[in-house]
Structure 1
Amino acid sequence: MERLKKFGVSLHDKNVQFFLIAVILFWFKTYITYRIEFNLGIDNELQQFLLFINPISSALFFLGLSFLSKKKRWGAILVGIEFVMSFWLYANVVYYRFFNDFITLPVLSQLTVNGGQTESALSLMSPFDVFYFTDTIILLLLLVSKRFSLNARSNRKIAFVPLTLAVAIFMFNLSLAEADRPELLTRSFDRNYLVKYLGINNFSIYDGIQSTRSSMQRTLASSDDLTEIENTIKANFAKPNPDYFGKAKGMNVIYVSLESLQSFIIDYKLDGQEVTPFLNSLARTGEAFYFDNFFHQTGQGKTSDAEFMMENSLYPLSQGSVFINKAQNTYQSGPAILKSRDYTSATFHGNYKTFWNRNEVYRAFGIDHFFDATYYNMSNENVKNYGMKDEPFLKESMPLLESLPQPFYSKFILLSNHFPFAMDEGDTDFPAGDFGDKVVNQYFQSAHYMDQALEQFFNDLKADGLYDNSVIVMYGDHYGISENHNDAMAQVTGEEITPFKNAQLQRVPLFIHVPGMQGKTIHKYSGQVDVMPTVLHLLGVNTNDYLQIGNDIFSSEYKELVPFRNGDFVTPEVTQVNGNCYSTDTGEELDVQACESPDQITKEKLEISDRIVTKDLLRFYKPEGFVPINPDDYQYNNAR
């Protein structure tokens, strides 16, 4: 106590008492939030203890900064800091309710670019959320009522105590966390771990450091960084299957992004009716190859991450979206590779070109035409969620598609089947589910509407003569139903949704129609990063000269390992979730040693891809015959 008095700290001091009340209120509110809002996977008593104490250091530090302010305004500034911290916590709560993830600084830059998300955000809010600001309200009432007579003497000397204590508690926290999870800050791809061990605010600081570090990495990178990467990728290259290689040479390519569609919906019947009868028929009749163990591998960029993998066969960023943060990089995309084979490329999207910064990143990919919302009838009856409804979008796209010189490489981004999945009256007569969850109930109607739109699109392609000369690739971009709806999903699937089961639910559909080839169901475990080399090999383009992480799924040398962006993975034998190892066949938990080998391969793949993207290494790589893209050659202005 004598040492504290040297700094003017006394528990009888009203300023100190007010400060301690603020710290305690924020501490307990944050811990309660952890327990009721976030699924952090607490596995032992040490993790429980760390979860309880980790809000203390950041509360002491940030609120302690108020002591550095001018003495007359100290109380108001402390309340203001409490409000900002509460707002940041609540923003993460709302974000987590859908994405099961935490906000990073790159995500904030995405939010400034992407409009039209108000409806989704509001649907995730509740009147009871006032709880997240009760501490600020209490402090404000105490301040206004003058219950605490805060003195006007200088507080700056006091600041040393909470700031020093904050650092000491954080170091104690970190040492315990490292004991339970070695190399937490250097090896973990999973934000859940960082928040569980260190807290939401400390994670945000770490995120800011990592973002700054990523920017510096590009500046310091050189061609020397490529040698090891090139050798590793080429050593793991899967040679094309001669029975499939070149079978679609010279044909058009049509990608269709199936918004939020998960594989559990395929062949699912609701009240005796198939939810997706058209897609089911493609798999049953052999009109297309259907991949029933295909997984999405997206991160925070969701749909944009799926696009990025489809175009580049590289993993998305662990934080934020490549489309926002790395749009100025050099890429060797599918559309760019096919230019030497006289392909014209185009993207069709029922939203405006600036949404997710597509107008910039598409230039880096070398996409020739971008048909955005300005080309469509965006009347109220045609629009929902993030843009145009699927049926009018695909119908109005046909004349634009027909206008392209052949062969073409095209991509259609569907939007209707998007959270919260509400349907306008008259769009579908398919019944809603009855699982006690509005979002899950509406998902079946929304998915059925998408299926109807796809059937119409296939019929139009056949009528226009494009179907028999086009490879059609349809893929689910990411999950639609998050972990927050596990109770309803347990009713849908008839099984409890454990962490293992949730990992298995990350399957999304992949259909590939190849004219002249009889399709079938492919059971190989594969992911979105593998689609680009698979399609290029069908077109007769050997990808061995390019730095791609994925491999041709049809290859006899293909290795069935699907890394997830958070460092987990799935194989036909084992699945890793949150550091725990399971038998993929039975779901039984195994000794972690059973997952050691695929875990190391997963880390290596993610690290290599991250080095390529964060350091912009493709600017130093010159494949033979590839003409680098100059983004200045591409502009997307609707002149009509």
Structure 2
Amino acid sequence: MNTMNKRDLLRNFALVAGLIWAKLLLLRILFYGRIDWAWIAADLAPVVLVMGLLAIVVPVRFRRGAYLAFDVLVSLVLFAATVYFNHFGSVPTYVALQELHQVFQVKDSVESTVQAVDYLYFADFILLAAFAILRKWRRSRRTVYPSLGGGYEWRDSRPGSRRAMLAAALLAVIAGGLLSAYYIRETKELTNELVHAESAGFINYQVAAAISAHEDNGLHLKGDINDTIAQIAALQATYPYGGKSGAAQPDYFASQKGKNVIVVQMEAFQNFPIHQTLAGQELTPNLNKLADEGFYFPQVYQQIGSGNTSDAEFMSNTSIYPLGAIPMSSGFGDRELPSLPRLLRDKGYEAYTFHVNSVGFWNRNQLYPALGFTGYYDKKYFYNDHFNAFGASDEQLYITALEKLSALQRKGTPFYAQLVTASSHHPFQIPDSFKKIAVPEELQGTMLGDYLTAINYTDYAIGKLVEGLKQDGLWENTVLVFYGDHFGLQPQNVDPEQVTAALGIPYDSQVSRFNIPLIVHTPGMAQGKAVEQTGGQLDILPTIANLLGISLKTEGFTAFGHDLLNIGRNVQGMRYYLPTGSFFNDDIMFVPGKGFADGKAVSLKTLQPVEDFSRYESDYDYILELERLSDQYVKLLPQR
């Protein structure tokens, strides 16, 4: 049996702590492109704290194994967090990391975002393995090498030495704990999650998130939802939305009363391809025609949180902000959510949702009942033509949907249908037999080329849906709504200049990336109308409700969005993909720093930086309070 003395134990402690600290510094480089030396102790403090605790509670013979296990655990978490950051551009909390089993179901999409540098988190294990092999080869009875493997006994059994080691471990725990507590306390008021994580350190940020969640949940357990609703109404009354939002008879009210409604949520669909051509080929001819014949909203922006596509479904059906860090399908699938399906059910409608993936993906088996859908159709209902990792193509989605909806039409039952497409899902590589356009040579094999090809196919399938609606007699009695769920182009893979060179249009890595289309096609509309009003996904429900003649005020429905056809000014918040406090109003996209004063603004019209944005501080304060009340409201909703 090998033996170990005090010096060996200290070496192992320092070695493992140093390795983990180095990995946390690597994370800073990968997340922020820099190491802010003013904050590096924030990374070391919790490492020393945990290592000290291990030194106290773990017997000597197992201590190095415990250190190694801690190193492995941290390495896996940091790797997962980095893959998550590569894919979503957000610093994950422990809650988001718990949802990784959902993320990894889209394996092709995730694998395409993993970079070779991410594997550096495991480099030390290769070196330690090589050292262990070398040590075994060169082992002799005369030499004792400190190692991270087991099989050692404590050599120096003097009580003084044991007390000294215990004192050192206690000192590490106290020093690490106090320093971590300092960073957590000093950064508590930061609303910008990226700045918060950088300032507090990644591990301390997780602790801060857990503390905040505990305090928040305790607060809401004592709340009264009626008081919250009153606060929401009072706050919204202070914002000058203008237009005819408060009129007794808004424009277009009940113009589509009794009509069927089909909402198509288009996967990863940004607005910039609309009305554009690539090498003389129209990218979205069918959507272009629908936009020219109906209401087209070119200034609408995504507002999803970590639930991504499922969060978009949640918002379009509820007009409630997602929390950001928690997928709404997972966190609130047990609630009775006020929703468009429930509003229409009271008008005699049946509501169905169609998605070619398994209904368990992102907990939709909980989300759809929470939203009040009559039923759903998932993977087993569609013919699998092996389009991508999800299976069925958009064409198959529409074939099944038309079959089910036509049956309702024949029964004389008005319906609301939500169709969630998947053919334009990241990484946008579709089978050659489904491609409808030829990509120029310079774009072949690029993300932009693949994306435009997938978007074009999505549009082609929409053309098939329109043909089917006309053939089945549904066209003249159905309101069609199309919108994008979130961005598609990853900024690290597509330079804005590449988009400009390919299509001849300006492109901003944030404004253009978050800009999604919203098209509402109504039967009998004599001429289309482009509505330049800024909006978000929260505005979809109020806009549809107005067309169908449903007064949200009369219904007592609390919405955080507004009818885009009847307001003169708007502001919408966005978090998760941007820091909390970010917003889009009619003029700018604003992203805070530590607060408002050190934030940044970009003009929505020119895509150029706006230096003086001081007059928009009231919008910043308003959005922070509105999002806070939205969170409070959804947490107080009754369970099913």
State the partner residue of 1:454: 462
State the partner residue of 2:356: 350
Q: What letter matches 1:164 in structure 2?
A: I
The structure number with the bigger radius of gyration is 2
* Partner Cα distance (2:573, 2:445) in 1: 31
In the alignment, which of 207, 210, 235 is matched to residue 208 of structure 1?
Answer: 210
State the partner residue of 2:543: 534
SS in 1 for 2:265: strand
Unaligned runs of 5+ in 1: 1-10, 179-183, 620-629, 632-640
* Partner Cα distance (1:391, 1:478) in 2: 21
Q: What letter matches 2:562 in structure 1?
A: N
Q: Do the aligned partners of residues 438 and 613 (structure 1) sit closer, same or farther apart at CA in structure 2, a change above 3 Å counting?
A: same
Q: What letter matches 2:60 in structure 1?
A: K
Aligned alpha-carbon RMSD (Å)? 2.8
Alpha-carbon displacement from aligned partner over 1:170-226 (angstroms, at most 9, x marks no partner): 355457xx4xxxxx42451x4212221112222222223334344434433334643
In the alignment, which of 400, 407, 413 is matched to residue 406 of structure 1?
Answer: 413
State the partner residue of 1:219: 221
* Partner Cα distance (1:19, 1:262) in 2: 50
Q: Do the aligned partners of residues 348 and 603 (structure 1) sit closer, same or farther apart at CA in structure 2, a change above 3 Å counting?
A: same
SS in 1 for 2:345: helix
| Offset at residue 350 of structure 1 (A) | 0.8
* Partner Cα distance (1:497, 1:172) in 2: 48
Asked if residue 370 in structure 1 is aligned to residue 405 in structure 2, the reply is no
State the partner residue of 1:485: 493
In the alignment, which of 183, 188, 193 is matched to residue 185 of structure 1?
Answer: 188
1:318-333 paired onto structure 2 within 5 Å = 318-333=324-339
Contact 1:416 1:450 (C-alpha < 8 Å) held by counterparts: yes
State the partner residue of 2:71: 82
In the alignment, which of 156, 160, 173 is matched to residue 163 of structure 1?
Answer: 173
Alpha-carbon displacement from aligned partner over 1:561-585 (angstroms, at most 9, x marks no partner): 1211232012233331243232514
Asked if residue 549 in structure 1 is aligned to residue 560 in structure 2, the reply is yes
Q: What letter matches 2:401 in structure 1?
A: S
In the alignment, which of 592, 597, 601 is matched to residue 582 of structure 1?
Answer: 601
* Partner Cα distance (1:573, 1:59) in 2: 45
Alpha-carbon displacement from aligned partner over 1:100-155 (angstroms, at most 9, x marks no partner): 11333333443446773223223333455431112344455556736316762655
State the partner residue of 1:430: 437
Q: What letter matches 1:210 in structure 2?
A: S
Contact 1:109 1:324 (C-alpha < 8 Å) held by counterparts: no
State the partner residue of 2:141: none
* Partner Cα distance (1:467, 1:599) in 2: 42
Contact 1:105 1:320 (C-alpha < 8 Å) held by counterparts: no
Q: What letter matches 2:581 in structure 1?
A: G
Normalising to structure 1: TM-score of the pair? 0.85
* Partner Cα distance (2:94, 2:182) in 1: 26
* Partner Cα distance (1:198, 1:151) in 2: 38
| Offset at residue 242 of structure 1 (A) | 3.0
Q: Do the aligned partners of residues 499 and 215 (structure 1) sit closer, same or farther apart at CA in structure 2, a change above 3 Å counting?
A: farther
Contact 2:333 2:370 (C-alpha < 8 Å) held by counterparts: yes
Q: Do the aligned partners of residues 372 and 81 (structure 1) sit closer, same or farther apart at CA in structure 2, a change above 3 Å counting?
A: same
* Partner Cα distance (1:53, 1:597) in 2: 36
* Partner Cα distance (1:203, 1:16) in 2: 28
State the partner residue of 2:46: 58
Contact 2:184 2:204 (C-alpha < 8 Å) held by counterparts: no
Q: Do the aligned partners of residues 110 and 130 (structure 1) sit closer, same or farther apart at CA in structure 2, a change above 3 Å counting?
A: closer
| Offset at residue 295 of structure 1 (A) | 0.4
SS in 2 for 1:89: helix
State the partner residue of 1:419: 426
* Partner Cα distance (1:312, 1:588) in 2: 33
Q: Do the aligned partners of residues 124 and 588 (structure 1) sit closer, same or farther apart at CA in structure 2, a change above 3 Å counting?
A: closer
Q: Do the aligned partners of residues 55 and 168 (structure 1) sit closer, same or farther apart at CA in structure 2, a change above 3 Å counting?
A: same
State the partner residue of 2:235: 232
Moved more, 52-61 or 364-373: 52-61
Asked if residue 601 in structure 1 is aligned to residue 599 in structure 2, the reply is no
In the alignment, which of 271, 277, 285 is matched to residue 285 of structure 2?
Answer: 277
* Partner Cα distance (2:452, 2:336) in 1: 40
* Partner Cα distance (1:261, 1:367) in 2: 24
State the partner residue of 2:400: 396
* Partner Cα distance (1:76, 1:142) in 2: 16
* Partner Cα distance (2:361, 2:177) in 1: 41
Q: Do the aligned partners of residues 486 and 65 (structure 1) sit closer, same or farther apart at CA in structure 2, a change above 3 Å counting?
A: farther
| Offset at residue 541 of structure 1 (A) | 0.5
State the partner residue of 1:38: 31
Alpha-carbon displacement from aligned partner over 1:582-640 (angstroms, at most 9, x marks no partner): 25145234245333111011112111111111233xx4xxxxxxxxxx95xxxxxxxxx
Q: What letter matches 1:559 in structure 2?
A: R
Q: What letter matches 2:354 in structure 1?
A: F
Contact 2:225 2:633 (C-alpha < 8 Å) held by counterparts: no
* Partner Cα distance (2:436, 2:96) in 1: 37
Q: Do the aligned partners of residues 382 and 402 (structure 1) sit closer, same or farther apart at CA in structure 2, a change above 3 Å counting?
A: farther
Alpha-carbon displacement from aligned partner over 1:425-459 (angstroms, at most 9, x marks no partner): 31114234635873333111111110100011011
State the partner residue of 1:147: 145
In the alignment, which of 504, 513, 518 is matched to residue 521 of structure 2?
Answer: 513
SS in 2 for 1:253: strand
Q: What letter matches 1:147 in structure 2?
A: Y
SS in 2 for 1:482: coil
In the alignment, which of 440, 455, 458 is matched to residue 448 of structure 2?
Answer: 440
Alpha-carbon displacement from aligned partner over 1:36-67 (angstroms, at most 9, x marks no partner): x2247x7xxxx823454432122222333321
Contact 2:581 2:624 (C-alpha < 8 Å) held by counterparts: yes
Q: What letter matches 2:80 in structure 1?
A: A
Aligned length, in residue pairs: 589
Moved more, 291-300 or 439-448: 439-448
State the partner residue of 1:181: none
Q: What letter matches 2:12 in structure 1?
A: F
| Offset at residue 382 of structure 1 (A) | 3.5
State the partner residue of 1:6: none
| Offset at residue 296 of structure 1 (A) | 0.6
Alpha-carbon displacement from aligned partner over 1:281-305 (angstroms, at most 9, x marks no partner): 323xx31211111101111111111
State the partner residue of 1:8: none
Contact 2:480 2:522 (C-alpha < 8 Å) held by counterparts: yes
Contact 1:67 1:74 (C-alpha < 8 Å) held by counterparts: yes
Q: What letter matches 1:169 in structure 2?
A: L
| Offset at residue 15 of structure 1 (A) | 1.4
The sequence identity of aligned pairs, in percent, is 27
State the partner residue of 2:305: 299
Contact 1:63 1:82 (C-alpha < 8 Å) held by counterparts: no
State the partner residue of 1:465: 473
Q: Do the aligned partners of residues 486 and 197 (structure 1) sit closer, same or farther apart at CA in structure 2, a change above 3 Å counting?
A: farther
State the partner residue of 2:86: 97
| Offset at residue 504 of structure 1 (A) | 3.9
Q: What letter matches 2:542 in structure 1?
A: P
Asked if residue 26 in structure 1 is aligned to residue 30 in structure 2, the reply is no
Normalising to structure 2: TM-score of the pair? 0.85
Q: Do the aligned partners of residues 280 and 372 (structure 1) sit closer, same or farther apart at CA in structure 2, a change above 3 Å counting?
A: same
Q: Do the aligned partners of residues 583 and 429 (structure 1) sit closer, same or farther apart at CA in structure 2, a change above 3 Å counting?
A: closer
Asked if residue 247 in structure 1 is aligned to residue 279 in structure 2, the reply is no
1:116-131 paired onto structure 2 within 5 Å = 116-131=105-120
Q: What letter matches 1:575 in structure 2?
A: M
SS in 2 for 1:412: strand
1:495-510 paired onto structure 2 within 5 Å = 501-510=509-518
Alpha-carbon displacement from aligned partner over 1:324-358 (angstroms, at most 9, x marks no partner): 11111221101101112111111111112222211
State the partner residue of 1:266: 274
Moved more, 518-527 or 12-21: 12-21
